[in-house]
Structure formats: C-alpha cells, structure tokens
Structure 1
C-alpha cells in the first residue's frame, strides 16, 4: 500500500538550493575568467579560430 513521503525540512531544502547556487556562481566565474582571458589574447587552455591576416 502507498505511503506518503515525509516532508523535507526547510534547512535541507535551503541547503540544496545553496549548493545549486554555489555551483552556478562558480561556473559563471569560470566563464567570465575564460572570456577575459580570450579577450586579452593570452589564453592557453582554449582553442578558437583566429582570422588570417593577408599581406
């Protein structure tokens, strides 16, 4: 016979949400750092096509 699940506590819910937000913030920080690195032209961990200059 089906039994209802126990209610999740507010602290457990908030803890899960905080973990999710922390992961998202870390990924956003990494993306911003990579973007800045690409713009300076000194990035070594990211390969992207360079426009060829004609002489």
Structure 2
C-alpha cells in the first residue's frame, strides 16, 4: 500500500470489512511476528552476545 494514499487506505479498510477473516489472520500473523522478533529472552541474549558477557 502506498504511503500517504488515502484511497489505497480506504480500499484496504473496505477489504477488511468485506473479509473479516482476513483481518483475523493478519492479526494472528502480526502477533506471531512481534513475539518472535521482540521476545525479551531473545533480545536479552542478543545484547549479552554483543556486550561479550
């Protein structure tokens, strides 16, 4: 979706209204990605490796 394009945003919102399952699927996948990328244990381990401890 292009940035600062209100028409594109409106079409995306309409699609979610017409396909609520799509919004649910995207929400689940977004959460999975966030948990994978920002898990405190993973981040802490990476920081420890960078710091050499």
Larger Rg over CA atoms: 1
Richer in helix (by share) = 2
TM-score normalised per structure 1: 0.44
